[in-house]
Amino acid sequence: GAVVSQHPSRVICKSGTSVKIECRSLDFQATTMFWYRQFPKQSLMLMATSNEGSKATYEQGVEKDKFLINHASLTLSTLTVTSAHPEDSSFYICSAREGMANEKLFFGSGTQLSVL
Amino acid sequence: KQEVTQIPAALSVPEGENLVLNCSFTDSAIYNLQWFRQDPGKGLTSLLLIQSSQREQTSGRLNASLDKSSGRSTLYIAASQPGDSATYLCAVQDDYKLSFGAGTTVTVRA
């Protein structure tokens, strides 16, 4: 099956620094990629949707200047958490879809971000 | 706005018992429904995908049913094993995005 590679799997950083998380589709072209955030014992919450070559669409309540998303190619999307603070500590997961809206999504393995 | 609810939130069973996990959603206009498995601190593993036109899907010991009109899906895991211990998430896809339930955390006791 299709593979989505996400890294790093874990990152610990100091407050105020920026962290970049990469999401790559390894064997298919991802027309659409999604970024999710998960707090402990809670469901995944969609943060934003990105289509290759266009600006990301952010969900209500998600700060676009805080969470920068770039989908520059059909196989790579990046999420940059700018000026990270402890409240940004969370589990971030990306997913990718090759084609139509009803097709299966494939998920990365997630990134655990801890901001000290 | 789509709301997805999973009951129970946690479940503990002895090995060999069958598991029944429930998922309900508020808006029946969905493309598909997926069941995922999540291990602690890890990403998601897709277990079963049911298209909106389908009633059920089966894979090995797993069977998932979908009743779109009533907004319900059930995941059955037969003859549970300790390795089945994980959190199981259901998610419905409408338009272009997935809406997730909070999950059912399953513990299978040896």
Q: With cut-offs at 50, 70 and 90, classify the pLDDT of residue B95.
A: low
- Here the tokens at position B38 are 């999540």
Mutation target vs A (from B32, B90, B97, B99; most A CBs, 10 A cutoff): B97
Contact B102 A108 (CB under 8 A): no
Position A87 scores a pLDDT of 94
Q: Which of A43, A105, A106 sits opposite B101 (nearest CB)?
A: A43
The residue ranges of chain A whose pLDDT is under 50 are none
Q: Which amino acid is at B82?
A: P
For B63, the token pair is 């069977």
Q: Which residues of B touch A56 (CB under 8 A)?
A: none
- Residue A82 has a pLDDT of 97
What pLDDT is stored for residue B104 in this prediction? 96
B70: left (phi over 0), alpha (psi -120 to 50) or beta: alpha
pLDDT digits (tens, 9 = 90+) for B15-51: 999 999 999 999 999 888 999 998 877 778 889 989 8
- Residue A83 CB contacts under 8 Å (≥ 6 apart), including other chains: A16, A17, A18, A66
pLDDT recorded at residue A52: 82
Q: How far is B55 from chain A (nearest CA, A)?
A: 16
| Residues in contact with B53: Cβ distance below 8 Å, sequence separation at least 6, in sequence order | none
- Cα separation, A66 vs A44, whole angstroms: 19
Q: What is the DSSP string of B41-102?
A: T--EEEEEEEETT-SEEEETTEEEEEETTTTEEEEEE-S--GGG-EEEEEEEEETTEEEE--
B47-77 pLDDT per residue, tens: 998 989 999 999 999 999 999 999 999 999 9
Q: What is the pLDDT of residue A101?
A: 57
- The minimum CA-CA distance between B92 and chain A, rounded to whole Å, is 10
**What pLDDT was estimated at residue A44?**
84
Cβ–Cβ below 8 Å for B42 and A110: yes
For A100, residues 6+ apart whose C-beta sits below 8 A from its C-beta are none
Q: Is the CB of residue A19 less than 8 Å from the CB of residue A81?
A: yes
State the CB neighbour count (10 A cutoff) for residue B29: 10
Q: What pLDDT score was predicted for residue A103?
A: 66
- Which of A36, A44, A49 is facing B96, going by the closest CB pair? A49
Query: Which chain A residues contact residue B51 at CB under 8 A?
Result: 102
3-state secondary structure at position A87: helix
